[in-house]
Amino acid sequence: MYIIAGLGNPGKQYEHTRHNTGFDAIDCLAGKYGISFDMKKFRGLCGTGAIEGQKVLLLKPQTYMNLSGESIREACAFYKIDPEEELIVMYDDISLAPGQLRIRKKGSAGGHNGIKNIIAQLGTQVFKRIKIGVGEKPAEYDLVDYVLGHFSKEDRVGMEEAFEDAARAAAMLVYEEPDVVMNRFNVKKA
């Protein structure tokens, strides 16, 4: 079984903000595979289903971004999964251009508080991740205001494509070796 988590903040005011790209991408994945977020468990919204014959739990932690690891740890413990093999996390990354994806098998938090909390809760930096670029913060912006802000109309169009790509990448990570997925999706967008 795989747990695929999309990171974000609960509440209407955060919908479709840069920081909620993980929620947007996992919603896209859920739509593709007919999975409903019909359970409240592990301090998150979740749904179960199958991707290419493999059982999955899709999870949207409702703990707010900075405590995402608490929800993910509870789900991993309940299902007795090995996060190093069977966890995939989708989230925003300000070091990538809007819509750019970067798939990784492991790594540091890179300043992302949600990932920092997941690493602390799981006790490992080794888990698959799909970083979704939201663009670099302009010099005059406060980081919190930037990530909690919305995309321009023009960037939003490109982001919809990125959510589709992130959903495809997450599905592939369930049945394909990570290196194959990385080679497919870690390409610079023109």
Annotated catalytic residue 19: yes
Q: What is the DSSP string of 15-61?
A: TTBGGGHHHHHHHHHHHHHT----EEETTEEEEEEEETTEEEEEEEE
Q: Is the pTM of this model over 0.85?
A: yes
pLDDT value for 187? 87
Cβ distance 8 to 20 under 8 Å?
Answer: yes
**pLDDT one-digit tens code per residue, 3-52:** 999 999 999 999 999 999 999 999 999 999 999 999 999 999 999 999 99
Which candidate, 5, 129, 120, places its Cα nearest to that of 62? 5
C-alpha to C-alpha distances, 126 to 29, 31, 107, 129, 155, nearest whole angstrom: 23, 28, 7, 9, 31
- Of the residues 16, 19, 112, 150, only one is catalytic, namely 19
Residues 6+ apart with CB under 8 A from 120: 69
**pLDDT score, position 188:** 78
Residue 190 CB neighbours (<10 A): 3
pLDDT for 85-127, tens place per residue?
A: 999 999 999 999 999 999 999 999 999 999 999 999 999 999 9
